[in-house]
Each structure stands twice: as C-alpha cells, then as structure tokens.
A and B are shown apart, each in its own frame.
Chain A
Amino acid sequence: MRDVEQKMIERAAALLQNGEVARVVGWKKGEFYFDPAPAVFETVDELKDFVYNGFCGANLSKYLIKVSKNEGKTAIFMKPCDSYSFNQLVKEHRVDREKIYVIAVECQGKLDIEKIKANGVTAVTNVEENGDKVTVSSLYGETVLDKADVMLGKCLTCKGKTHQAKDEDIILHEMPAPANNRFDEVAKLEAMTEDERFAFWKEQLQKCIRCNACRNVCPACSCLKCVFDNPSSGVAAKANDDRFEEQLFHVIRAFHVSGRCTDCGECSRVCPQNIPLHLLNRKFIKDIDGFYGEYQAGETAEGKTPLTSYKEEDLEVSDVFKGEGK
C-alpha cells in the first residue's frame, strides 16, 4: 500500500505543479494512524500530510459538490465504490464531469478501527496489511489479525473492484473482491415474521440519537433543502412538533434515496450507534432488482432511475406480497 500512496502523492504533485488542476481531493493524516480525514490539497507543500492507508474508507465524492464549484479543475482519488457515487452525482447534475479529473486508486478493502479495538488491541500506532492478515502495532507490542475480521462492513460485501469512472488509474496490485452476497442479510430478515422484524428494527432504531450523520455523509442525500430541515415540505406540523420526522426518520431517509442509493455503505460506517442502515437501503435495491429488473445506481452517469420510469406491464401493488411468504 505504501507504494500506492507514494505514487498518488507524485501524481497529485505533478498535476498541481503543471497547473492541470487547481486542487486535489484526498485524505490527510489525522491525529492517529487510524483516523485520516478527507481533505483538499491546493499546493504541493500541503501534500506532505497526504495519506492513503487501510483507514481511508471515507467516500470523497460528495465533497465535489462544493469544491468543484470553485475556479479550475479538481482532481479526486476514488476507490471503486466511490466511483458509483460519483456517477450518480454527475447524473443528478450535482457535479460537472468536465471539471473533475478522476484518479482511480487501488483498494484492498478498508479497515474498521472499532473491530481492531474489539480484538483487545489498544493504543494502535501502525497497521501493516499483508494479504489476508493485518499486523497491528501498538504501544504494547504486535498483534496479527485476520483481515476479514477487522474490515469495514461495507468491504465484506464489496460490489466489485472495477471503477465505474476514471481518467487515469493507480492500480499496482491485484484486487480480489470478497465473495459474500450482499443480499443475504436482507433475505434473512425477510424470512422472519412481521413481529420478529418489528422487534428487530425497533431495537435497532431506538438507539438512534438523530445526529444526522447518516444523512450528511450520504452522496445520494444532496438536496439543497433537505426535507428534514424544510418547514414547507407540506408534511410539517403547524405547531412546532417534530414527532413525525423523529419517528419516521429512517423510513423517509431510506425512501428518499431509493433508486439512487449506490450501496456505498457510508451511512452504516458513520453511524455512531452502529445501526445497520445499509439493511434498509438494500431492501429497496433488492426489491427494485426483483420487481423491475436488475439495476445498479451509479453504474453509469446517464439514464433514468427505477422510480422515474415505468413499464406498462409492471407488477401490481396487490401482487407484491403474493407467493413470497413475506
């Protein structure tokens, strides 16, 4: 991974130096090894803080909405999953493709520091990835862990390692994708009874603290005026009363991104309460695939979404629950 990082810094420096781009969006060093943060680099000098390691799970594409409005071209490093979100933003006219230079970067699966800590390792100083193992160095010594045990949830069901948009790439090694089926967990819930499902979701959703992180991070949540901040949405109460959005926040959010959610997994990654939000969005994706034919949001930057199109012979609503034992 170090060689990839080195190459990325070189390319970023070259692009900034020859004036091809005005800024580069990437990740910069955090306080610790495991908390790099998304950042915009405008000079070669600033690149001394640039990092690309196993903790760069953050999807950078949403930052383009803002930074690409500035003068000049913006270069951005993208992992395969980020490129889907990027296409979706281009398709929704939130980002102008012409103003972006996409550098597709290698991804070997990103790590979850919480899972490493859960293995009893604290005071982490460094993490080396070697194939399917990771060596975690801490103030107390070295620990070798199975990578599959400490990867981000989204990486365990990675959609694949093919970038859907790029102008050049930095891919120095093979990128094996995990073989897990991302719909298995949804199917498991579907197989439960209504009562069990309700109990499951109630248990999960009552943990929510309405920090709005899941909304703020989501590349599909890019409305200028979010319905949750909009008193003229038509469903807000006359008196100051937010019960509706409080109680139904998750349903509204998930529906708003249905047909547009690329399953980038960011919502679940950022939720401080570990609510499996991806299981909500994935239900919509699974249903769309099943009812209207397979559709992957963000695969291209053109075309209609399943909810802005129809077929005359579409499934009737009364047939939704037929023969599926739901």
Chain B
Amino acid sequence: MQDVTTGNKEFKPNIVAFCCNWCSYAGADLAGSSRLTYPANVKIIRVPCSCRVNPMFVLKAFQQGADGVILCGCHPGDCHYVTGNYYTRRRMALLFSFLNYMGIEKERTRVEWVSAAEGAKFSAVMNDFVKTVTELGENKRLTDLRVKEGK
C-alpha cells in the first residue's frame, strides 16, 4: 500500500488483529494508556472470545487485502468462557498449517496469548508482527489462489 498523503512509497502492510474482549483488547487498552505504541496499520477487531473467530473470518480478511492476520486471546486456562481458546488453538494450528501447505507464507498468520495485564507484550507483539509482514511484502497469494496469472 502506498501512502498517498505523504507520497511515501514504503510498503505499509494491512494487518488485521482479532482481539478477545476480555484479555487482549484490554491489553491493547492498557498499552494505549501506558503510552506504549503499536503501528497504526494494525486494525483491531474486537471479538467476544478468540473462539468466535470462524476460520472464514481469517480467509475473508486476507481476501479483502490483509497482508497479515493475527489472533490474540487469553492465555490457555484463563479464558473468560473457560475453554474457548483451547478450541481456537486447535482450529488455527490446523488452518495455518493448511494455508502454508497451499503455499501461503507461514509468517502471515499468528496466534498470541495476551492478558489484560500485558500491555507491553501487546505492543511488542504487534510491532514484531508488523515488522515481519513488512519484510515479507504484499499478500498476493491468498487473493488469487485460483487465478492463473499473478495480479
């Protein structure tokens, strides 16, 4: 993506972060109130639980132009709904492994556990993820898996 307002040609990835309401979203809040920064191109989508993230949401985000998708939830054992994130863990392990099997770069997908008290971790995770995806470049593969010529 090009920043038209500044004419800056540096690649800024679109990052979608699904954050669980009870831990990670509160963690993001804490990061903000602690004046820790995370890149503005991270778009946070608040979900009641990481388990709410249907794998189709991840695919849809990529198809709509996301360059990286990250899920953040409560640490295993700390889920507000007791077991939600255990299911998330299996689902995403299988989905991400599968996407990589289809040739999608494994660095574009990530799951991190961030508690409400971990503002610093939230900021560090997001900075690191954005850096990784920036180095990787634009996501083309998941938007044209079925098209013969690259876009």
Contact mask A287-322 → B, CB, 8 Å, 1/0?
Answer: 110011000000000000011101110111110110
Using known A-B contacts A234-B54, A283-B101, determine if residue A320 contacts B148 with beta carbons closer than 8 Å: no
Chain B residue at minimum C-beta to C-beta distance from A281: B98
Binds A, one of B5-13, B18-26, B89-97, B115-123: B89-97
Chain A residues contacting B146 (CB-CB under 8 Å) are: 202, 205-206, 208, 246-247, 249-250
Chain A residues contacting B143 (CB-CB under 8 Å) are: 247
- Say if the beta carbon of A248 comes within 8 Å of chain B: yes
Cβ contact within 8 Å between A310 and B145: no
Chain B residues contacting A226 (CB-CB under 8 Å) are: none
- Say if the beta carbon of A34 comes within 8 Å of chain B: no
Closest chain A CB from B122 CB (angstroms): 16
Chain B residue at minimum C-beta to C-beta distance from A246: B146
Cβ contact within 8 Å between B89 and A314: yes
Closest chain B CB from A54 CB (angstroms): 33
Cβ contact within 8 Å between A287 and B90: no
- Say if the beta carbon of A33 comes within 8 Å of chain B: no
- Say if the beta carbon of A66 comes within 8 Å of chain B: no
Count of B interface residues, CB-CB < 8 Å: 41
Binds B, one of A79-87, A116-124, A157-165, A252-260: A252-260
Count of A interface residues, CB-CB < 8 Å: 51
Binds B, one of A10-18, A67-75, A171-179, A187-195: A187-195
Chain A residues contacting B77 (CB-CB under 8 Å) are: 312
Cβ contact within 8 Å between A243 and B94: no
Cβ contact within 8 Å between A235 and B54: yes
Closest chain A CB from B61 CB (angstroms): 10
Contact mask A194-209 → B, CB, 8 Å, 1/0?
Answer: 1111111110011010
- Say if the beta carbon of A326 comes within 8 Å of chain B: yes
Using known A-B contacts A234-B54, A243-B63, determine if residue A205 contacts B90 with beta carbons closer than 8 Å: no
List CB contacts (< 8 Å) of B34-61 with chain A: 54-57, 59-60
Cβ contact within 8 Å between A258 and B94: yes
- Say if the beta carbon of A144 comes within 8 Å of chain B: no
Residue of B63, B97, B102 touching A320 (CB-CB under 8 A) = B97
Chain B residues contacting A251 (CB-CB under 8 Å) are: 59, 98-99, 102, 145
Closest chain B CB from A289 CB (angstroms): 11
Cβ contact within 8 Å between A197 and B101: yes
Closest chain A CB from B147 CB (angstroms): 6
Cβ contact within 8 Å between B103 and A201: yes
Cβ contact within 8 Å between B94 and A307: yes
Using known A-B contacts A197-B102, A251-B98, determine if residue A202 contacts B54 with beta carbons closer than 8 Å: no
Using known A-B contacts A194-B105, A205-B145, A287-B98, determine if residue A315 contacts B59 with beta carbons closer than 8 Å: no
Cβ contact within 8 Å between A310 and B102: no
Closest chain A CB from B144 CB (angstroms): 7
Chain A residues contacting B110 (CB-CB under 8 Å) are: 317-318
Cβ contact within 8 Å between B63 and A244: yes
- Say if the beta carbon of B76 comes within 8 Å of chain A: yes
Chain A residues contacting B63 (CB-CB under 8 Å) are: 243-244, 247-248
Cβ contact within 8 Å between B100 and A194: yes
Tell me the complex Cα distance, A308–B98, Å: 18
- Say if the beta carbon of B30 comes within 8 Å of chain A: no
Chain B residues contacting A321 (CB-CB under 8 Å) are: 97, 100, 106
Shortest Cβ-Cβ A-B pairs, 7 listed: A198-B103, A310-B86, A317-B111, A197-B103, A205-B146, A206-B148, A235-B60
